[in-house]
Amino acid sequence: MAKTIRVNETPLVLYTLRRADDALILGHRLSEWCGHAPMMEEDMALANMALDLIGQARSLYTYAGEAEGEGRTEDDFAYWRDERGYRNLLLVEQQNGDFARTILRQFLYANFADLYWRAMMASKDETLAAIAAKSEKEMAYHVRHTAEWVIRLGDGTTESHARIAAALDGLWAYTGELFEMDASEKELVDAGIAVDLSTLRAAWRDNVKAVLDEATLITPEDGWMQKGGRTGIHSEHLGHLLSELQHVQHTIPGAVW
C-alpha cells in the first residue's frame, strides 16, 4: 500500500512546493462553494477561480517533481503528504465562513499573487517564469472580481458591511506570512530565481487600502501575525481539508478516473 512520501526539499523544490500548496489548498477551499454560492453567477465565478488555482498548482507540482528528480508526479505531492508535509500559507487554509469571508480571503491573496507572479516573470528559472506569465493574467481577474465584491459589501448594507469588516478583522493576522522568507528562499533570491517578497509589501498594502477605502473599511494596522504554514505548522483546519482531498486515494491507492 502506498504511504506518505518524504520529499527531498532542496531550496528549489521547497520553493515550488510552497507556491503549489498555496494554489491547491485555496483552489480546494473555493471548490467547496460549488453548488452553495449565494447565486449562480457567483457559483460559477468561485468554481472558475478554483479551476485557475488548481491549474497553477498542477504546473507547479509537475515542476517540483522534475526539480526533485525522484520521478514523482503532481498526484504524489497532492495525495501522499500529510498535514505536516504541506507548506502552504495559513491564510489559504482558513475556513470559508460566509461569502464575505471567502471573498476577502481571495482578495487579500489575489492582490499578493498578482504582484508576485508579475515579478516572477523576470525569474531566471524559465519554467517558473512561464508559469508566472500564465498565472498573472488569471490573477488580474481574481483581483478585479473580488475587489468589486469588497466594495459592494463594504459600501452596501449595514449587514454586509458588518460581515466584511468582521472578515477583515479575522483574517488580517494571516497576511504577514505572505511576505515571509527564510534562508532557503533568500538563497534563491540571490540566484535571481525567487522574488524578494519584502519589495512587494508596500505596493500590496497600497492596492489593498485603495479598495478598502472605497469600501468604507478601515485598513488594519499590522500587529501580531500568525505564521507556521511554510514549515508545516498549520491551523486545525488543514487536516480536515486534506482528509477530504485525499480520502479516495487513501482508500483505493492509485485509483484513476
Partner 1 sequence: MAGRESQPVPATSFPLADTDARLAHARSVAATVTDPEIPVLSIDDLGVLRELKLALDGTLEVFITPTYSGCPAMNMIALELELALEKAGFDRVKVTTVLSPAWTTDWMTEAGRRKLKEYGIAPPSEKRAGRGALFGADEVECPRCGSVRTNRLAEFGSTSCKALWQCQDCREPFDYFKCH
Binding site for partner 1 (CB under 8 A): 41, 44-45, 47-49, 51-56, 58-59, 126-127, 129-131, 133-135, 137-138, 140-141, 143-145, 147-148, 151
- Name the minimum Å distance from CB 66 to partner 1: 13
Question: Is there a contact between 163 and 155 (Cβ–Cβ < 8 Å)?
Answer: no
Cell numbers found for residue 73? 508526479
Looking at residue 203, its amino acid is A
Closer CB to partner 1, residue 109 or residue 174?
Answer: 109
For residue 70 the three cell numbers come to 525522484
Task: Please report the sign of the dihedral spanned by the C-alpha atoms of residue 112, residue 29, residue 170, residue 146.
Answer: positive
Q: How far is the CB of 55 from partner 1 (least distance, A)?
A: 3
Residue 87 or 145: the one with the smaller Cβ distance to partner 1 is: 145
| 135 vs 226 by CB, closer to partner 1 | 135
Three cell numbers, residue 214: 472605497
Contacts of 1 (CB under 8 A, 6+ apart): 253
Residue 44 or residue 255: which is nearer to partner 1 going by CB?
44
Whole-number minimum distance, CB 105 to partner 1, in Å?
Answer: 17
Radius of gyration (Cα) for the chain, nearest Å?
18
CB of 148 to partner 1, least distance (A): 5
Nearer to partner 1, 66 or 180 (CB): 66
Nearest to partner 1 of 23, 242 (CB atom): 23
49 within 8 A of 18, measured Cβ to Cβ: no
Between the two ends of the chain, the Cα-to-Cα distance in Å is: 19
Residue 56: all three cell numbers together: 497553477
Residue 89 corresponds to which cell in the numbers above?
500559507
Q: Smallest distance, Å, CB 256 to partner 1?
A: 12
Cα 75 to Cα 20, 120, 199, 227, distances in angstroms: 12, 25, 33, 27
**Can you say how many angstroms the Cα of residue 73 is from the centroid of all Cα atoms in its chain?**
20
Least distance from C-beta 3 to partner 1, angstroms? 28
